[in-house]
Amino acid sequence: MLATTPYLTKRCPSPTTVEYTVSNRPRPSFSQHLKASALALLRALIIASAALILWGKWNQPDCSIQTSSVAAGSLLGAPASTRFIPTEKIQDVLVNEAFHGFEVRYYLLIVVDGEEDVVVVFPKLLPGKDVVTTVWRGVKACLYEGPPDGMKMRNA
């Protein structure tokens, strides 16, 4: 009537507890133990990798802007003037135009919260309109929409 004879297993989870189990299920073979161990290991790896991915997503630093400029004609070892502007301080990023003689020059500026003056991004270089608008679109996309497709954020 029974496929296997009942057997008794005894387990002691603590010094004051004893667990007796009587079962007629076939005893697990070595290959079943191996499969169960491999499955448990696979589950642990999946859970650990999912936790690591979630931690990485939630632990990404906020985007910000860092400007750096070196004096023209300086040697390679000259120190650079660097300015770091956190995202929460940035009110807006604008492209503006100014007249210099008979020509129009375009420049990129950042309105920073709590400061009277704006920050001009390329103060000495003053590149052309196409360069300034390309940088402006990229900055706006990074600050308000996340990085554009194909652009990877570098964590320092």
pLDDT, position 53: 85
pLDDT, position 38: 95
CB atoms closer than 10 angstroms to residue 123:
13
pLDDT, position 132: 87
pLDDT, position 77: 60
The contacts of residue 62 (CB under 8 Å, 6+ apart) are 86, 87, 88
- Spatial distance between the Cα atoms of 29 and 25, rounded to a whole number of angstroms: 12
- Spatial distance between the Cα atoms of 79 and 71, rounded to a whole number of angstroms: 9
CB atoms closer than 10 angstroms to residue 83:
13
Q: Which two tokens stand for residue 18?
A: 């004893």
User: Which alpha helices (H) appear in the chain, and where do they start and end?
Assistant: 30-58, 129-144
- 107 phi, psi to nearest 5 deg: -145, 155
**What pTM, to 2 d.p., does this model score?**
0.50
pLDDT, position 156: 42
The amino acid occupying position 99 is: F
Q: In whole angstroms, how far apart are CA 96 and each of 33, 57, 86, 117?
A: 71, 36, 22, 14
The pLDDT tens digits along the chain (156 residues) read 556 777 778 888 887 777 777 777 777 889 998 999 999 999 999 999 999 888 877 776 566 777 776 665 555 666 667 788 888 888 899 999 989 889 898 989 999 999 999 988 887 777 888 888 888 888 888 777 765 555 555 444
- Spatial distance between the Cα atoms of 107 and 111, rounded to a whole number of angstroms: 13
Q: Which two tokens stand for residue 9?
A: 């297993």
Residue 131: alpha-carbon gap to chain centroid = 27
